Every structure is written in C-alpha cells, then in structure tokens.
Structure 1
C-alpha cells in the first residue's frame, strides 16, 4: 500500500465513520420519535372519534326519550314516530343511525333502504365478522364500541368503521351509530410522511457534508486523477459483483425448478413401479399400471421441455390456481393412494402469475414431503382468498415433524420459505396435536385489484 493511499485512508475513514454514526443515530432516534408521536396522535384522534360517537348517541337518546318513556298514542304509534326521528337524524356525508330488533331484523337504515325489514342476524363483513350479532351482543352487555368493515355511502368502498350500540330494553331494540375511521389512517400517514421527509433531509445533509470533506481531502492528497481512477475502480467492482449476483440467482432459479418439478414426476413413476412389483403376481391389470408409468414418463419429458421454455406450470396458465390445486390433489391421490381433499377459492387477478406459481410449487413440495416422510393416509388442502391476504393450509395425519426442527431442514423446506419470502409471504410449520403436520401460508394480495363485495 502506497503512502498516498495510507494517508487517504487515515483522512477519509474517520470522516466516514463519524458521518455513519451521526446519520445512523439521528435516523433511528427520529424513527423512534415518529413512531411515538404518530401513535399518540392516532390515539388522540381515535379518542376524539369515540367521544364524538358518544355525543351523537346521547343526542339521539335525548331526542326520543319522551316518546320512548310515555309512548303517546300506544306503543306502535310511538315506535313509528321514533323510527321516523332516527331515520332523519343524519350527520355529515356518511353519518347515520341504525336500529335492529334483537332477532337481527333491520328497522331503520337511512342509507341502505334495502336492508329495512330484512333479517340480517348472520350478516358477515368481508373479513368474516358477524356484524349484527356482535353489535347486539355489545348493546346487551351495557353498550359499547365495535369495529368492523362496511361500505361507505359516499365512495361505495369497503372501509373500517367504529360503531357504538346501546339497547332500548323496553322495546328490545338495538340503536347504533358509527363513524368511518379511514381518514385517521390518512391523516397519520400524511404526518408520518412529513416526519420521514425531514429525516431524509437531515441524513442527506450529514452525508453531503461528509462527502464534501472527503472530496476536499482526496483532492488535496492525490488530485483529480486519483479520484477518477478510484471512481472507475469502484464502478468496475460494482459491475463484477452484479454479474456474480445474477449468475447465482439464475443457478438458484434453475435448481429450484428442477427440484420442485422433475422430482415430483420421478417420484410418481417410482410409486407406479412399486405398485406393479407388489401386485404383479395377483393383479390382472398389470398392463394398465405399465401404461400409466409410461404416461408419467411422457409427462416428465414434457415437464423438462416446459422448464426449458418458460419455467411456468402450464396447468396454471390453462385453468388457474384453484383448479390446478384440485388437479394436483387428484393426481397425487391416484399415484400415492393417500386421500386428498382440496378446497380452493379462486383468486382471479388478485395474485400475480409469479405468486400463483410459487403457491403451486409450494403445494407440490409439501405433497412430496408427505409421500416421502409422513406415513399419512389423508391430506387436507385449504386455500382461502380474504380481503387483503391469501391463506393456505396443508394438513396431514402422519407422524409429524421432528422437534425441534433442524436448522438445515432440507432443500424442499428451504425452497418453500424462499418462494414465500420472494412475494412477501410467511410460511409456518407446526405439528398437529392429534398427530400430523400443518403448513400455514399467508401472502398479501395485489392491492391494485380490489375484491368485490356486497354491502355489509
């Protein structure tokens, strides 16, 4: 190492270290401050919303108090008058009161007239919450808040809603009111974005000053030519590292596809041959088993060609993920003799092609592991498409996983985890109490493709 290089390092390294320390400390302290302040702000806004809801419900109770207590003209006339009063008590663009009887029948709904008179006891919101049941239960417990999602009248979109329900005990009515809380998240996100912008500016200033000092030091020590050479060397090193990275990614991709695809079909051939060997002496349909093995070999050749073309499961392109999983379950059941039940909801365009391939490959790998290691007689595959996430569960009745699970649990499990992480998904392996293995997968859906729901 030359003297100039040593002098350059002695001058520059402390500046770099100091700037990283200051920038890092400022960044993480500011991030902590942002989190604390935004949480406090969100809590204050939510508290204000709750108080606003209480005030509105008190106003409604005051408006109907005399009629409710005295029932002028009889109970039917009083109830009709109260319904009219509550129906007319709207506030803002999306604020209204609603009334249900304790059996879930809607009595008042100013915004959705089609609900009035209907029995909605089993009504669920898009996230599976039994809205009317829970509101009535909350009211019967003395009144309180309940959160769920509901269609916002002004936009027609499903948004989070905070409701407050009380009981009109004499009439066996539940009176409720709610406010949409989506604006809270928007307000907090805007404040958080302002804070984050300030942090970026501060860090930028710190590193800009450091960069200026480094530039001056480098110029004074070795001049412009050395700086240009250093810059060129740095870019060349980045390019070399990028080439290696691309090579490793390609090798990993090919290795994963070969393991997940060819392995499945070769194992199917093995099962077919074993069946022929064990049944040859007593089964008259030996020729049928042989033909089946030949068809599987043909499928293997087709699979190799498919991988060389696009590394894309053709069944997904032709029929979609749900149908492809059902077909996979039937084929596995035929080849292995293990009963497979598949329940799969269609995800349509809410999942990218690459994500669908990842889910399909994961199920393939899981079924291979069941056949190889579990000794199971039954496998259950359940795919549900929620409002924000896709949930996959694969459960067998075999011997379960070793406890604790080894760190290097095998290429198959590693590939499954890597596939899910690539699409921001999460994979969980666990033993079932009754015996067997359960695989749970959660994967976010495409936010740009909203799932359609009915009101409620």
Structure 2
C-alpha cells in the first residue's frame, strides 16, 4: 500500500515537472525574445520619430526664411532711398519679425559683425567671428560658411530666450550677396529629446507590462496544472474572460495612444505645412492685383486650403480632442456637445463640473469616449430632439448622466446591450466604475456612470 502511494506521489511529481518545466523554459525564451525584439523596436522607432521631427523642423525653418525674404524682397531689390536707407529698413523689419516663443531672425556681415539680433541686443555692432558655444563650436563662422556655400543647416547650442538656458538649436543661414549679409534663423531642438525620451519611456513601460503579463500567464498556468493534478476544478471560462478583458483594455490603451499620435502628427505637422502654404498663396493673391484671372485662381486656392485645413483639424479633433488634454474633461464635454448640436441640429444641454486631477487621464478618456458613443447612438437611433449631459463631482465619486427624449429602449429591456454598450461598460469597469442603462421617465434613454475619485485629492480639496 505504501509502495503504491509512493509510486502515485512520484508519478504526480513527474507529471507536474513534465508540465511545468517546459512551460517555464518556453516562457523564459518568449520573454527574452520579446525583450530583445522590443528593445530593437524602441531604437528603430525613436530614430524614425527623431528623423521625422527634424525633417519637419527643417521644412518649417525654410518656410520662415522664405517668409522673411518675401517681406524684404522689394526693399532689397530696389533699394529705395539708397543702399544705407534700404539696409536700415530691412534691419527694422527683421528686428520686429518673430515667430513662436523663441523664433527670431539674425544678420551678420561676412566678417562676423552682428547687424540684427532682437533677443540679444548687446551683440549688435560687435564682431563675433571667434565666438564659440559651450561645445567649442565656432557658431558664426560655420553659419557664414553654410550661407556662402548656398545656404544650409548647422547644429549648435545657444541661449533660449523663454527659459534663459542654453539649449540645442538647429540654425539655417542664407547669403544676401548684394550686401554681403548672412541672414539666418533657427528652432530649438530640446523638445525633440524630450519627446524621444517620452516615447522611449512609454515603450519601456509597455515592455515591462508585456513581461509581467508573460510572468502572470506562466504563474497562472502553473497553478492550473497543479490544481488539475490535485483534482481541484478550475473555471476555464472565468480565466478566459479575465484574459479577454485584459486584452480588450490593452487594445483600448493602444488605440488611444495611436489616435493621440496620429492626431498630434496631423495638428503639428500637416496642419502647420498647410498653413505655411496658405501664407504663400495669400501673398500671391495680394500681389495679383493686375491680373484678375490669377487673383481669382489664388482666391479659389485659398478657399480650398481653408477647407482642407478645417478638415485636417476636424479629423485630428475626432481622433483625439486636444481640449481633453489641455483643458480637462469638463471643457471637452462642453465642446463635444456644442459640436454635436451644430452637426445634428439636436439641442444639447451640458452641465459639467471640474474634476481636476482627481481622475487618471485614462479614466477621463474613458468617460469622454462613453459620451461620444452615446451621442453617436442618439444620432443614429433615438430620433431625439434634446440631449442632456451632466457631470457631478462629489467627495468620493463622480456621476455622469446622458439622457435623451427619443423613442427609448426596446421592450423587454436588453440585459447586456449591444457591442457598443459592452465596450462602454468595459471601459468604465477598468477604472472601478459602474455603468447602467435604463429608460427615461416619459420617453428616451438614460445612461448613468458612477466612478470613484482619488480620496487623497478629495481630502486636500
């Protein structure tokens, strides 16, 4: 009897080892391969992002230089009042011509004497041929060399007016050969390093989450195997549902990240380029007084560009509303209600209190997407004339209600709702909230969300 039990224990041990050891080995291999491939992907993606941003900044700098040349072209070509008078006028124009927070134009003669510098006036009149930056780079020499070589870019470090610190800068210089002037401008690139660091940090966090998920799956599988050997039942359906919800939440996160990235690219790159093109077409329109046909074509181009810019901004706003990141959930709901009312003609009443930092950013995004889905359903199915959105913030929790006066829900009331309702519920449950669907008194539908708030912030408030 004892020998039988001993053999039985040995068999269970062997079965456990046969089940667990390969699983551990495979998990380690998968984790190592995932980590290595992810690191390679991070390096490739950050390099690609950095190159795209630098290319956009180079194009932006060229556009600014073209605008500056356009503003002084007539005076530079005709020299009204003589060369000295023309130079004085050009100096004044370039001194007052700025862009963004830290954008300006500077002018040096070919021997290194400064002629124009609106941010550092003490440089004007001095010879800075031998000026070196903190890295030992001869800044003025190299910029003049780029200008005399047909115009080009140069990296150096320089004083940043808005912060008072020395930061990396991408400069661009061209030659005004008639006056032997080097005209230049540039953009600071410290934000590129910050953005690349943020992307790298986000990828690193994703790698950690992936490895953690692999570890948890391995651990859960080991527990399942041990439980099966010990004769304990384990609910496979519950386990599968848990993993499916985890995967769904991850998909939502990745989707929001990708929407935000595409929205930012549209707003900061394509939209800015279209605006720059519009400036050029507007200049052509203003200069085409003698040719009505050309002026008409320019006006049509301006109209088309305005529509394109508006469409790009609409797409960017639909993907990821910047007001949600910049001004918070309350302002974002108000903007959404106003836009929906303008598009559908349905009256929207919004009453939203500020929740400030008492909700994580993911929870704010989830609430916004729930309201967005509700408005879509109202437009498609409700046949309503009025929608009410209310957001009330208490000491412990938040209550969001979306009500309409439409045809209401079918009878009997669905228990789980459709796919859209399930997606909304899963978004809210991710952050510990609860979503309920009910009929509204006289007619219509009511969706109510309750979500806990940060108690530490509540006590501080």
Q: Which TM bucket (shorter chain)? A: 0.3 to 0.5
Q: When the two structures are superposed, what TM-score results if normalisation uses the length of structure 1?
A: 0.47
Higher RCO structure (Cα 8 Å, ≥6 apart): 1
Q: When the two structures are superposed, what TM-score results if normalisation uses the length of structure 2?
A: 0.46
